[in-house]
Structure 1
Amino acid sequence: MSDFETLGLKSGRWTGLLRRETGPNRVVLAQAGRIIADAEVTEDAPGLWRIEATLPVSSLSDGMQTFSLLGNAGDGKIPHPDCELLAEISVTSGQAAEIDLHAELALIRAELDMLKKEFRRISAP
């Protein structure tokens, strides 16, 4: 994730810059292990790619939601196991609770999913 710099979230649109020789074939926005939107990838300068993804309104609800930008994620509705995690963002909405156990569980699940994918990739023959 070190070559991705987030430029923030504004009007439901998450923007960032990816520093690489070549841009990814496909970048998607994922939530809870499924693809919810395709991101737009445009070349800003040689070796600098602007990535923009719109958070679907239907994916927002009370509490915290974690969204992931995945590079080279295949062509289906479920991310390809070899996809690359470019960045993550968490969005909190609704009434804020002092201790939001659901938000903590969502973050732990997202990290666990990432670790499982990496482990599978490393241990594949």
Structure 2
Amino acid sequence: MSAYTLTNTRLFEGVWDGVITANKDDGIPPLIEVTLLEKLLEKVSLTPNGENRWILRIPIPTTAIADGVHTFLIREAASGETLDSFSIIAGEAVAEDIRAEMDLLRAELDMLKRAFRRHCVETT
């Protein structure tokens, strides 16, 4: 079992916010590292928010706002355990992927409708 629990609170104005809660009452703040493309992010902040709770703030670097999928991993550095992750998806390539998936879903739905109508005709 993890020593810490991370709860996502929001992503707003380029900053991802979360709350880290310690699962034991030792009051020791976790050592958090956030990586993007296997590189450590700077300017990650952890501020106390009551007993055994901390606010985690991760500013999204402008380099992560680009075509494709960019996944951030949030780990507790001492144990190496991944507490959470989040992704940012953007760009024209993603829109094309979604359109292709929608076309495929429409084709499958049309096929199912034809099969269902055929089944209804054959059983009456």
**Pair 1:8–1:97, CA change in 2 (3 A):** farther
- What is the number of equivalent residue pairs in this alignment? 91
* Structure number with larger C-alpha Rg: 2
Match of 2:16 in 1: 14
- Structure number with the higher helix fraction is 2
> Where has structure 1 moved over 3 Å in runs of 4 or more?
none
What 5-or-longer segments of structure 2 have no aligned partner?
Answer: 99-124
Q: Is residue 64–residue 88 contact of structure 2 (8 Å, CA) maintained in 1?
A: no
Alpha-carbon distance in 1 for matches of 2:75, 2:42: 11
Q: Is residue 30–residue 37 contact of structure 1 (8 Å, CA) maintained in 2?
A: no
Q: Is residue 28–residue 38 contact of structure 1 (8 Å, CA) maintained in 2?
A: no
Deviation at 1:38, TM superposition (A): 4.1
TM-score normalised to structure 1 length? 0.63
Match of 1:97 in 2: 96
Alpha-carbon distance in 2 for matches of 1:93, 1:37: 22
Give RMSD over aligned pairs: 2.3
What 5-or-longer segments of structure 1 have no aligned partner?
Answer: 74-81, 100-125
Q: Which amino acid aligns with 1:18?
A: I
